[in-house]
């Protein structure tokens, strides 16, 4: 989206995407380990975060048209 909307270099978008992924992973890991989640519960939290981010990205106007009715 940096390239399409702002005209930035795709390599810069790659670095920003990696940094945002690192931040989300650290946030998810912090919450999961803070509450002592292990094994399948940690996997379920990981899938839940991915699903939440998917729904947010689909409905975010900046990325494109929102999905839905």
pLDDT per position as a tens digit, 5-27:
888 889 998 999 899 999 999 99
Max CA-CA distance within the chain?
43
Cβ–Cβ < 8 Å for 31, 46: no
How much is the mean pLDDT over the chain? 86
Residue 41: pLDDT band (50, 70, 90) is very high
pTM higher than 0.75, yes or no?
no
Q: Which residues contact 9 (CB under 8 A, 6 or more apart)?
A: 3
């Amino acid at each position: 989206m940096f390239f399409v909307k702002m005209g930035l270099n795709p390599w810069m978008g790659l670095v920003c995407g990696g940094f945002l992924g690192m931040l989300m992973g650290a946030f998810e890991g912090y919450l999961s380990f803070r509450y002592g989640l292990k094994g399948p519960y940690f996997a379920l939290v990981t899938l839940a975060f991915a699903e939440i981010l998917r729904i947010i990205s689909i409905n975010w106007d900046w990325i494109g048209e929102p999905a839905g009715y």
